[in-house]
Amino acid sequence: MNDKDKEVFLDLLKERIPKFGVDVDKILQVNENGELKRIIFVNFMQGREAEPKHYCEITDIEQFLSKMEQF
């Protein structure tokens, strides 16, 4: 993915996110380096056996990586 691809994708997100009634600036946050924050949602943080499975945003990358290693 090159810079042009990233720009096109970001423009698509900015166009489509408001259609879901969500503030674009809340979703597309910029980190201290001026880069777009990663957006990761998974449905296994509660454990493999949890039912129903709910998707949640990953805010702690170390906790996410630890859970991945467990699986």
pLDDT at 25 over 80: yes
Calculate the CA dihedral of residues 54, 57, 63, 65 and round it to 10 degrees: 90
Q: Read off the pTM.
A: 0.52
pLDDT of residue 34: 72
**How much is the average pLDDT of 18-44?**
83
